[in-house]
Amino acid sequence: MPYALCFLLFMLGLYCAVVKKNMVKIVIGIMVMEYAVNLFLIMLGYRFGGSAPIIDRSQLEAEQVAASFINNSVDPLPQALVLTAIVISLGSLALMISICVRTYEKYGTFDITQIRRLKG
Amino acid sequence: MSIPLPLFIAVPLVMAFLLPMFGRKGKVAATFLANLVTIFLLVSAVASIGKSEVYEIGKWSIPLGINLVLDGLSSLMLLAISVVSAAAMLFSARYMEQYTAKAKYLSLFLLMVAGMNGVVLSGDIFNLFVFLEIASLASYALVGFGCEHEELEASFKYMVLGSIGSIFVLFAVALVYGNTGTLNMAYISEAIQYSGMNAGLDFALALFIVGFGLKAALVPFHAWLPDAHPSAPAPISAMLSGILIKTLGIYALARVVFNIFGVSVSVGWLLIVLGLLSMVAGAFLAIGQWDLKRLMAYSSISQIGYVILGIGLGATLIARGDNLAWASLAILGGLFHLVNHAVYKSLLFLTSGSVEMSTGTRQLKQMGGLAEKLPITRTTCTVASASIVGIPPFSGFWSKLILVIAAVQAQFYWIAAIIVFVSLCTLIMYLKVQRYVFLGELPENLQQVKENKGSMLVAMVFLACLCVLMGLLVLVPGLKQAILEPAVKVLTDGLKYSVDVKGM
């Protein structure tokens, strides 16, 4: 069920990016898609009632790490991936918004149906 | 001499962040340093031919750490990237004097090169995504570099479609991780062989094809390319058309399809259909264009179709269990066409930049009779046109011939016919370029036109010489064995990739 909702969020973002006429709304749609994918990554690693994947020294010495640790802790790797993906999407968001602003300065509108100098 | 693999990424990356500090006064020094970097990369890429190695970053052994893999296909792509970027950088030394903020341009250029080198060397699927984003972000900014009406519009269009492509790739990476539990390409491939495909992996493969197809501008996803490539400054058009769409699109797609998921008949046919659509649609759209760079951009779509057709044909033949020699011939044709297209299309875009810089226009109807005024540009442009059309001694002929032979041997006669037909369309569009740019009457306002000097000419002549000599890559057995065959072998071996990487 959560996966279906996450996919719904992704499709909403895609719909927004494809259908909307306003440049800023297109950017928002792309970002919603990005966040849906980030959410999906986080959910992959999440475990209901899981613990943080940290081993302390006493556990290591007792050598009882394996089974209980693997069964209880959440997967930390997707969190690292999401962190990277968020930084990348921040960079692309900044670039997209600055291009929107520059385009508005030139054309005086955000409406992509009126920004049509390139044809063919 | 062996160069540590991370240097291919680290040197341009570090230099990219150093160059903006030079500012307005240190422009000459910045240009010199940037050229030094691209030439260093060219030398290193030549030195790395025929080697195959795995570098584990920070000595973390795989699958715990991230690895860089150099194999035949990677070194072929590295070579193509460094040749085109060295020529484009040399060209921009003079061409970019028209623009302000040259140091920033050089910085973005090197960032793009670092990203592309990262994509071809990465052995980790998430790392591949990160480098893909580095290269794409730099290219979005470079397309809009002029900050005029058309450039901003094209950049926005490119950016929206490019971002959607990147997000699809990220989604596919997440799905693959969820299904296999690893991000290392060799281990993913092994896990998929062990467990077989399931619905999630099928969906991931579809997302990969759409995502990389958007980056490669295959025909249903091509809408951004004819706007983005002409709007960029000429050396950047050369980089984008020559190498970026191939690295981010074709290379990544081939790697994923052949080495990670393994080929299947349906995917092979999908690639063939995408390739044929791109070839035909690109060629038809190109003939009607009156903007010089726009015509070349559409012809890029058509040429990228040849590459994907060769690779798809190979995939189908391998998956059907047909004669492996035919499959490797088809893949050889595709990859050789990729390298050839990198050289002659970047040369064509550089000559278009030279014409634009001299005449101040890109409209074919406003030009004419420039043959006497721009002799060297004319010669190099003719060489590149002959090459892209496929006139015998030039490079394009050999790759198209190999593709036709492969198609005939595999008894796809209609594919061979389409290849020849699209070649004819290409002939028409480049005859049009020759006729309207270099022949005919010289308009009044272009009487004072002068040939460009210096580094621009060096870059164009360098690429033109390559166009003539590239045929040797298949004709001389030694060169073929050293450069092309290892790359073909990586793809025909397919899933053996995981064993190879772990064994190194």
On whether residue A51 sits in a domain, the answer given is: no
Name the band, by pLDDT with cuts 50, 70 and 90, for residue A19: very high
- Residue burial B87-113, b: 16+ Cβ < 10 Å; e: rest: bbbbbbbbbbeeeebbbbbbbbbbbbb
Name the band, by pLDDT with cuts 50, 70 and 90, for residue A117: confident
Which SS3 state, helix, strand or coil, does residue B69 take? Answer: strand
On whether residue A8 sits in a domain, the answer given is: yes
Distance to chain B for A55, nearest Cα, Å: 17
Of residues B12 and B442, more confidently modeled: B12
CA distance B348 to B356: 12
**Whether the predicted pLDDT of B479 surpasses 60:** yes
Interchain CB distance below 8 Å, B159 and A17: no
- A-B C-beta contacts closer than 8 Å: 90
The residue of chain A with its CA nearest to that of B163 is A30
pLDDT digits 0-9 by tens, B433-462: 888 888 888 887 777 777 777 888 899 999
On whether residue A66 sits in a domain, the answer given is: no
On whether residue A86 sits in a domain, the answer given is: yes
Cβ neighbour number for residue A43 with a 10 Å cutoff: 15
Q: Where are the beta strands (DSSP E) in B173-295?
A: none
Of residues A32 and B63, more confidently modeled: A32
Count up the domains in chain A and report the number: 1
CA distance readout (Å), B75 to A101, B17, B46, B51, B158? 41, 26, 8, 8, 28
- pLDDT exceeding 70 applies to what percent of chain B? 100
Residues in chain B: 504
CA distance readout (Å), B213 to B103, B125, B275? 32, 17, 11
CA distance readout (Å), A56 to A47, A49, A69? 20, 19, 11
Q: Is A10 exposed, middle or buried (0-12, 13-18, 19+ CB in 10 A)?
A: buried
On whether residue A112 sits in a domain, the answer given is: yes
For an interface test with A, which of B167, B173, B207 has the most A Cβ atoms less than 10 Å from its Cβ?
B167
Distance to chain A for B342, nearest Cα, Å: 24
Name the band, by pLDDT with cuts 50, 70 and 90, for residue A64: low
Q: Identity (one letter) of the amino acid at B477? A: P
Name the band, by pLDDT with cuts 50, 70 and 90, for residue B320: confident
Angle between helices B6-18 and B102-121 (to 10 degrees): 160
Of residues B155 and B147, more confidently modeled: B155
What pLDDT does residue B257 have?
Answer: 92
What pLDDT does residue A119 have?
Answer: 62
What pLDDT does residue B372 have?
Answer: 82
CA distance B291 to B279: 20
Nearest to B207 by CA among B166, B251, B147: B166
On whether residue A67 sits in a domain, the answer given is: no
Which SS3 state, helix, strand or coil, does residue B504 take? Answer: coil
pLDDT digits 0-9 by tens, B211-224: 999 999 888 888 88
Query: What is the domain extent for residue A36?
Result: 1-46+75-120
On whether residue A24 sits in a domain, the answer given is: yes
Tell me phi and psi for residue B389, to 5 degrees. -75, -35
What pairing do the DSSP bridges indicate for beta strands B67-70 and B53-56? Answer: antiparallel
Q: Identity (one letter) of the amino acid at B294? A: R
Are the CB atoms for B213 and B311 separated by under 8 Å? no
pLDDT digits 0-9 by tens, B278-305: 999 999 999 988 889 999 999 999 999 9
Name the band, by pLDDT with cuts 50, 70 and 90, for residue B472: confident
The residues near B445 (Cβ < 8 Å, ≥ 6 apart) are none
- pLDDT exceeding 70 applies to what percent of chain A? 88
Q: Give one word for A73, left, alpha or beta, with left for phi > 0 and alpha for psi -120 to 50.
A: beta
Residue A11 belongs to domain with CATH number: 1.10.287.3510
What pLDDT does residue A86 have?
Answer: 94
Distance to chain A for B170, nearest Cα, Å: 7
The predicted model gives B155-176 an average pLDDT of 93
pLDDT digits 0-9 by tens, B259-284: 999 888 999 999 999 999 999 999 99
On whether residue A21 sits in a domain, the answer given is: yes
Name the band, by pLDDT with cuts 50, 70 and 90, for residue B8: very high
Interchain CB distance below 8 Å, B150 and A118: yes
Mean pLDDT of chain B: 89
